[in-house]
């Protein structure tokens, strides 16, 4: 029999939910900020072009509305990270051309280098950072790839244990869903292994080889007899 909720429990649950929602909003804000700066680094865009690119890059996991995009652009503009100008003869904000400023470049690089465990554990946050890996320092790339790999290895180990424990107690469809999740994670681990190895090889090729140059000893010309 389920024990009744004690006094104050609902309040604690409500506070916990609010914390989770606040964390989610903060992650979403950071994801949108990084994505906007990263896309504008590639080229200046109209607002509607930026929205289209965001939908194409992040639409499979994040639904970004104009109601989220324009306040973010306004915030970045106020911080002098983004500058905007109206197209000639236009006054609609959808016709603004947005450009990244020098401050925006610095902020983008700073956000790229700020790495936390959440960036490896949250798939969407990791994939967004991965989309801008060409702008990321090699050491930061390596840390993110290895963190993600380590996190997934732990998840797979826990899932295998759960499958052993639950396979006799859950229905066949739930079991298959768990197996599917396990296979997906194992596939991603193999993908990460390949990326890490390729990155290591690329870095080894860039390192200069310390070869000791052999100095030729000049031969003394024979004395004429």
24-113: CATH class: mainly alpha
β-pairing, 82-86 vs 96-100, is: antiparallel
For residues 173 and 82, what is the distance between their CA atoms, to the nearest angstrom? 49
Mean pLDDT, all residues of the chain: 80
Task: Count CB atoms within 10 A of the CB of residue 90.
Answer: 13
Please write the tens of the pLDDT for every residue from 145-176: 999 999 999 999 999 999 988 888 889 999 99
For helices 102-113 and 9-42, give the axis angle rounded to 10 degrees.
130
Q: What is the CA radius of gyration of the chain?
A: 27
pTM (2 decimals)?
0.71
- Find the angle CA(18)-CA(23)-CA(24) to the nearest 5 degrees: 95
Q: What are 97's strand-pairing partners?
A: 46, 85
> What is the per-residue pLDDT across 190-206, written as a single tens digit (0 to 9) for each?
999 999 999 999 888 87
Instruction: Quote the CA–CA distance of 148 and 111 in Å, as a whole number.
Output: 18
């Amino acid at each position: 029999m389920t024990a009744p909720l004690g006094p104050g429990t609902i309040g604690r649950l409500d506070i916990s939910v609010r914390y989770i929602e606040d964390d989610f909003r903060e992650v979403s804000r950071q994801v949108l900020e990084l994505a906007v700066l990263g896309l504008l680094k590639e080229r200046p865009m109209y607002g509607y072009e930026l929205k289209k690119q965001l939908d194409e890059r992040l639409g499979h996991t994040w639904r970004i509305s104009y109601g989220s995009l324009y306040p973010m652009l306004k915030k970045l503009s106020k911080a002098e990270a983004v500058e905007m100008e109206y197209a000639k003869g236009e006054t609609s904000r959808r016709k603004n051309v947005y450009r990244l400023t020098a401050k925006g470049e610095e902020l983008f690089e700073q956000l790229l280098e700020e790495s936390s465990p959440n960036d490896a554990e949250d798939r969407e946050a990791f994939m967004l950072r991965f989309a801008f890996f060409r702008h990321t320092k090699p050491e930061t790339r390596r840390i993110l790839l290895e963190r993600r790999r380590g996190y997934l290895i732990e998840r797979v180990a826990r899932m295998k244990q759960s499958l052993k424990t639950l396979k006799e107690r859950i229905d066949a469809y739930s079991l298959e869903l768990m197996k599917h999740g396990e296979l997906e994670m194992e596939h991603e681990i193999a993908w990460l292994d390949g990326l890490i190895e390729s990155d290591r090889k690329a870095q080894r090729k860039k390192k200069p080889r310390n070869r000791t140059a052999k100095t030729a000893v000049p031969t003394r010309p024979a004395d004429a007899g």
